[in-house]
A and B are shown apart, each in its own frame.
Chain A
């Protein structure tokens, strides 16, 4: 049975009726394949810096005296900043990223945000992931890219290295697996092997004596998970990482990302996450640690990619749901803010600093006002990196930034 029929059945509220010869159906051509041709194509890795990364202490406006006035206890001392130019520089804990910057592999886009910013973690995260600040969208911008790209269907066109599927990879027609770690991704073999074999046949049978909005979805995810988890270790087992990664959750995720990319499964988009950057209290210790973990993991990731000749086909992009208030609060922390910088990293990037530096004088209710619409960055990535028109995916036209060739 075609999986599109499952979805249509659920949407129209019809009872979902499966064909009894579902086992035969599985062999039909429309069933996604595990690995596929096109495995050498470009890849986008999206890194979600969850919780609202404080942009001002990440890309520090060390040339601006106002910054030091407004952050009496939190400002990064001028002498510690890893200066990119006379006005901005990296947080001193981002040494690996700085050395990548020096090699021209990093673009910093400043002041990224959207009109009428929302200060809720959840709504703002949703806005960044759906690329829809003014309406509710059920698909993510990369999910819509997957729908639009019509890649030869396989089980790994998009992969989320997370337990929960992020909204950014929700699409209408492409199932994206969420994989927290390969070790736990697979049915354990045990003395019920025969029951397991029967189970693999059960999951596609969908003729239940009741209706439920979730039934078809569950059957579909179980089916893909069961087959995907069987294939994945075989497909990526031959990959040997070059160098060592930091023993952090992000280090492990990026190591797995490199393994998936290097195994050439046909994956075009990967999602990883890192956090939490929600530093209302004692910001320095938390943010310094997280930024160092980010920077070190990125260093290891690109070293690994380079050793396998993949560094020019992998673009990494960060985002965070918002930056933070310019003035520190009374608890050595900062509250929810607005625009913040993001990073584009990889061999295809034109290194440098883009967009205008945050204007601390003309703040928007105490927050950094955005100067680059986030959809401009998305449009650039969709068109110049992933090679698709962006207007339909983003619901409008947005000027490109110059950070990608």
Chain B
């Protein structure tokens, strides 16, 4: 687990208070079902719901709602993919470079770098909009989770946007797939081969970077392997590289180490596929994924007994995600008070979720800039451990950036397109009830509701006129801003 989780974990600051009943935790939930819990489900299994989606899910039964999220429908109506610069499809020929002077080469590379950067921003916008309008939010949520888990950053180490684009398609196609298969595919994925240097791993000089992070961050967790396991498995991955002129994976047997390797107490002439299979035979691997899923979907720092219980479900289902996620989203622990608002929204969840809550039809233009200020740039995680998450999203700098994003959003012309905010009743009391209900499912202290009411009706300060037809729009948007400024709004 990334270090940042550990420090608060050691102090027990991430885990919700109260006691876990582990026998009951993963059994199907049979309690009340309402808009508040439907919104909770949509925040976790997706990026939040619009008021209409929340109402629609609340009208289903809870098992129906979970089935609906796990059933992926046709996405052919979604916005067309962006134009992603692909050097291999166009002008990427060694011959072309050979005749060039140093100056011409520099110009050539500057041009493709510029086109690449433009591509990245188009990809970010495309993905954020897809998160907003997809009929399959869980598909995008898992793609997003994998993006932070099997991290790869574009524009470093020769990782062209097209590689990251293809990697994202791989994640999306495995959103409810098998984790072992996905890990094998990731090990052969050009973006990963470049980002963690396995492209250069050869028998005369093994490069350990991928082998180590595969175990530490992707599958087992620190402490479940030895330094010798790192060295031995690095040998097994030798030769998995890519053709620099086609950009596709190749298994180069000439630089593969065919000698015997001893890895996690087994000996053989292993290759990369064998290493991944041996890893997935370890109980620690199922525990690692159980912990990852619980930390992302239920609450942080889950109890070891809860991890064990979900790890057993993962092993029973041979690492197939669909039945595992179905278990989680239908479980008692998922709908418990302890899990409710127990996670911190990542900037992407916060930004997309805000568009959802306001029922905006598309993502604002400045979203990529706002996300950078909030600390989360898609396709550019800070390092191989992905985004640290949890309390790490709550720093003074980042809370200010979130607040500034909100202010710019409620003042932007995009707000004219909100399907409901300007139709809030002109009567202040029901207006505040509606805002706090739609944006926060009522999760606001009554003192704060009173303050928002006094802002809205104009009794708060002499600087404000009483609410009237002229100032209504500005005032109701200000009240929406205030509602979304409450600390509870930072929580998923």
Check A165/B392 contact, CB under 8 A, given A187-B404, A280-B197. yes
Asked whether B445 lies within 8 Å of A208 as measured between CB atoms, the reply is yes
Do the beta carbons of A179 and B397 come within 8 Å of each other? Answer: yes
Hey, which chain B residues are within 8 Å of A186, CB to CB?
400
Q: Mark B381-404, 1 if CB is under 8 A from A, else 0.
A: 011110010111011111111011
- CB contact between B216 and one of A120, A140, A187, A218 (< 8 Å): that residue: A120
Q: Say whether A365 contacts B397, CB under 8 Å.
A: no
CB of B397 within 8 A of CB of A185, answer yes
Task: Pick the residue among A12, A118, A198 that contacts B460 (CB under 8 A).
Answer: A198
> What residues of B have a CB within 8 angstroms of the CB of A130 in the complex?
7
Q: Are A120 and B222 in contact (CB under 8 A)?
A: yes
CB neighbours of A164 from chain B (8 A): 4, 375, 382, 388, 392, 395
Roughly how many angstroms separate A128 CA and B398 CA in the complex, as a whole number? 25
Say yes or no: B17 contacts A213, CB within 8 Å.
yes
* CB atoms of B445 and A206 under 8 A apart: yes
A164-B375, A191-B474, A210-B443 known; A225+B400 contact, CB < 8 A: yes
Residues of A within 8 A of B397 (CB): 163, 177-180, 184-185, 225
**Measured between alpha carbons, how far is A219 from B486 in the docked complex, in Å?**
8
Q: How large is the interface on A (under 10, 10 to 19, 20 to 34, 35 or more residues)?
A: 35 or more
User: In the complex, what distance in Å separates the CA atom of A185 from the CA atom of B397?
Assistant: 6
> Of the 9-residue stretches B60-68, B204-212, B425-433, which lies at the interface with chain A?
B204-212
Given contacts A126-B7, A137-B10, A178-B395, contact A213 B16 (CB under 8 A): yes
Taking CB atoms, residues of chain A closer than 8 Å to B403 are 187, 199, 222, 226
Query: Does residue B25 face the partner (Cβ distance < 8 Å to A)?
Result: no
Minimum Cβ distance to chain A for residue B138 (Å): 23
A209→B436 CA distance, assembly (Å): 13
Does B443 lie within 8 Å of A203, measured CB to CB?
no
A182 CB → nearest B CB, Å: 10
A203 CA / B451 CA spacing, docked (Å): 11
- Report Cα–Cα, A210/B383, bound state, in Å: 34
Partner of A229, one of B8, B13, B396, B477: B396
In residues 331-363 of chain A, which contact B (Cβ within 8 Å)? 331, 333, 335-336
Q: Does B21 make an interface contact (CB < 8 A)?
A: no
Instruction: Kindly identify, within residues 303 to 360 of chain B, every residue whose CB is under 8 Å from any CB belonging to chain A.
Output: 337-338, 340-342, 344
Given A186-B400, A335-B209; A207-B485 close (CB under 8 Å): no
Residues in A with CB closer than 8 Å to B344 are: 214, 218
- Residue interface bits A236-250, CB-to-B below 8 A is 1, else 0: 000000000000000
Interface size class of B (residues with CB under 8 A): 35 or more
Given A122-B3, A214-B344, A280-B207, CB of A138 within 8 Å of CB of B11: yes
Contact yes or no, A213 B13, CB < 8 A: yes
Question: Does B10 contact A228, Cβ atoms closer than 8 Å?
Answer: no
- Find B15's partner among A129, A196, A198, A213 (CB 8 Å cutoff): A213
Report whether B447 and A207 are in contact in the complex, using a CB–CB cutoff of 8 Å. Answer: yes
Option from B443, B481, B485 in Cβ contact (under 8 Å) with A208: B443
For residues 226 through 240 of chain B, which have their beta carbon under 8 Å from a beta carbon of chain A?
227, 230
The yes or no answer to B202 lying at the interface (CB within 8 A) is yes
Chain A residues whose CB sits within 8 angstroms of the CB of B375 once the complex forms:
163-164
Which A residues between 6 and 37 are near B, CB-CB below 8 angstroms? 10-13, 18, 20
Stretch at the interface among B71-79, B160-168, B177-185, B405-413: B405-413
Residues of B within 8 A of A405 (CB): none
Q: Which residues of B contact A226 (CB under 8 A)?
A: 400, 403
Flag if B16 contacts A221 (CB, 8 Å): no
Instruction: Provide the residues of chain A in CB contact with B488, threshold 8 Å.
Output: 208, 210, 212, 215
Which chain B residues in 165-192 approach chain A with CB under 8 Å? none
Q: Does A315 contact B (CB under 8 A)?
A: no
Q: Tell whether B22 is near chain A: CB-to-CB under 8 Å.
A: no
**Chain A residue at minimal CB-CB distance from B205:** A330
**Cross-chain contact A197 with B461 (CB below 8 angstroms):** yes
Give the chain B neighbours of A125 by CB distance below 8 A. Answer: 3
> Is A192's CB under 8 angstroms from B407's CB?
yes
Given contacts A188-B404, A194-B461, A206-B487, are A136 and B7 in contact (CB under 8 A)? yes
Closest to B17 in A: A13
Q: Is B145 an interface residue (CB 8 A)?
A: no
Instruction: Mark interface residues in B1-32 (1 if CB within 8 Å of A CB, else 0).
Output: 01110111111111111100000000000000
Instruction: Say if the beta carbon of A281 comes within 8 Å of chain B.
Output: yes
Instruction: Give the docked Cα–Cα distance between A167 and B13 (Å).
Output: 14
A136–B10 CB distance below 8 A: yes
Query: B7 contacts A202, CB within 8 Å?
Result: no
Interface residue A123 (Cβ < 8 Å from any Cβ of B): yes
Contact with A along B457-490 (1 / 0, CB 8 A): 0001101100000000010011101100111101
Q: How many angstroms from the CA of A199 to the CA of B485 in the assembled complex?
A: 7
**Which A residues touch B227, using CB under 8 A?**
119, 365
In the complex, how many angstroms separate the beta carbon of A295 from the nearest chain B beta carbon?
Answer: 23
B200 at the interface (CB under 8 A from A): yes
Distance in Å: Cβ of A129 to nearest Cβ of chain B = 8
Q: Is B361 an interface residue (CB 8 A)?
A: no
Partner of A202, one of B2, B8, B12, B451: B451
A391 at the A/B interface (Cβ < 8 Å)? no
Contact residues in A for B200 (Cβ distance below 8 Å): 280-281, 330-331
Q: How far is the CA of A344 from the CA of B300 in the complex (A)?
A: 38
The docked-state distance in angstroms from the alpha carbon of A138 to that of B454 is 41
In the complex, the chain B residue whose C-beta lies closest to that of A118 is B222
**Closest CB-CB distance, A380 to chain B, in whole Å?**
24
Query: Bound complex: CA of A333 vs CA of B13, how far in Å?
Result: 39
- Contact: A195 with B482, CB < 8 Å? yes
Contact status of A136 and B9, CB under 8 A, knowing A13-B17, A121-B383, A192-B410? yes
List chain A residues, Cβ under 8 A from B388.
164
Per the bound structure, the CA–CA distance linking A199 and B478 in Å amounts to: 10
Whole-angstrom CA separation of A120 from B362 in the bound complex? 41
CB neighbours (8 Å) of A330 from chain B are 200-202, 204-207
B448 within 8 A of A: yes
Residues in B whose Cβ lies below 8 Å from that of A217: 13, 391, 394
Contact B209 A190 (CB under 8 A): no
B455 in contact (CB, < 8 A): yes
Judging by beta carbons under 8 Å apart, are A194 and B455 in contact? yes
Residues of B within 8 A of A312 (CB): none
Residue numbers in A under 8 Å from B155 (CB-CB): none
Is B424 interfacial (CB-CB < 8 Å)? no
A87 close to chain B: CB less than 8 A = no
Most chain A CB within a 10 A radius of its CB, from B217, B338, B397: B397
| Residue of B390, B392, B396, B478 ringed by the most chain A CB atoms within 10 A | B396
Partner of A211, one of B16, B208, B217, B222: B16
In angstroms, how far is the closest chain A Cβ from the Cβ of B120?
Answer: 19
Cβ proximity bits B103-145 to A, threshold 8 Å, 1 near / 0 not: 0000000000000000000000000000000000000000000
Which chain B positions have C-beta within 8 A of A40? none
Whether A209 contacts B451 by the Cβ 8 Å rule is: no
Query: Residues on A close to B: CB < 8 A?
Result: 10-13, 18, 20, 51, 118-123, 125-126, 129-130, 136-140, 163-165, 167, 170, 177-180, 184-188, 190-192, 194-199, 201-203, 205-215, 217-219, 221-222, 224-226, 228-229, 276, 280-281, 328-331, 333, 335-336, 365
Sampled A-B contacts (15; CB under 8 Å): A13-B17, A138-B9, A163-B398, A177-B397, A184-B373, A191-B411, A191-B474, A196-B407, A198-B451, A207-B446, A209-B445, A210-B341, A218-B344, A225-B400, A333-B207
Q: A10-B13, A185-B397 are in contact. List 9 more A-B contacts (CB 8 A).
A: A122-B3, A137-B7, A184-B401, A188-B404, A197-B461, A198-B454, A203-B487, A222-B399, A281-B207
Shortest Cβ-Cβ A-B pairs, 3 listed: A330-B205, A13-B17, A225-B396
Taking beta carbons and an 8 Å cutoff, which residues of B are in contact with A? 2-4, 6-18, 157, 197, 200-202, 204-209, 212, 216-217, 222, 227, 230, 299-300, 337-338, 340-342, 344, 373, 375, 382-385, 388, 390-392, 394-401, 403-404, 407-408, 410-411, 442-448, 451-452, 454-455, 460-461, 463-464, 474, 477-479, 481-482, 485-488, 490-491
